[in-house]
């Protein structure tokens, strides 16, 4: 009967650990999507309340958000550049959505 040797045992343990990490990442992704859905609902409301396109685009507000999330990332000891690039992409998508909502409600 064959037994699992040292390197094979380590490789199997690595595969099992990777599978567990992937499950945890999927769970975090589900939580993130739930939060994005909440943010979208709020953005849709905001889009109906703003007076013009400039108020929707609000570059000053965008930069305040970026500053806030970078600071939050630094406090949590995570890479603020990753957080910033993620937020810039998300905000860009939400501005497009908010512009559509604003136009529809005007």
Neighbours of 72 (CB within 10 A): 12
The pLDDT mean for the chain works out to: 94
At 6 the pLDDT is 67
pLDDT value at residue 32: 98
Assess contact for 56 and 99: CB atoms under 8 A: yes
Question: Can you tell me the mean pLDDT for 94-106?
Answer: 95
Question: In which domain, by residue range, is 50 found?
Answer: 23-105
The mean pLDDT of 27-43, rounded to a whole number, is 98
Position 13 scores a pLDDT of 85
Report yes or no on 53 lying in a domain.
Answer: yes
pLDDT computed for residue 7 by the predictor: 80
Mention every residue, 6+ apart, whose C-beta is less than 8 A from residue 78.
Answer: none
Question: What mean pLDDT comes out for the span 89-103?
Answer: 97
Q: Which two tokens stand for residue 101?
A: 């909502």
**Rounded (10°) angle between helices 6-49 and 80-105:** 30
At 35, which CATH number? 1.20.59.10
Q: Give the Cα separation of 23 and 90 in Å (integer).
A: 24
User: Residue 86 gets which letter from DSSP?
Assistant: H
Entry pTM: 0.85
Domain count for the chain, please give it: 1
């Amino acid at each position: 009967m064959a037994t699992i040797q040292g390197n094979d045992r380590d490789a199997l343990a690595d595969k099992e650990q990777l599978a567990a990490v992937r499950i945890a990442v999927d769970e975090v992704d589900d939580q993130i999507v739930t939060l994005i859905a909440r943010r979208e609902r709020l953005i849709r409301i905001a889009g109906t309340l703003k007076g013009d396109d400039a108020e929707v685009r609000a570059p000053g507000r965008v930069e305040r958000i970026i500053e806030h999330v970078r600071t939050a990332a630094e406090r949590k000891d995570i890479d603020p550049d990753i957080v910033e690039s993620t937020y810039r992409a998300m905000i860009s998508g939400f501005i497009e959505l908010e512009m559509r909502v604003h136009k529809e409600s005007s």
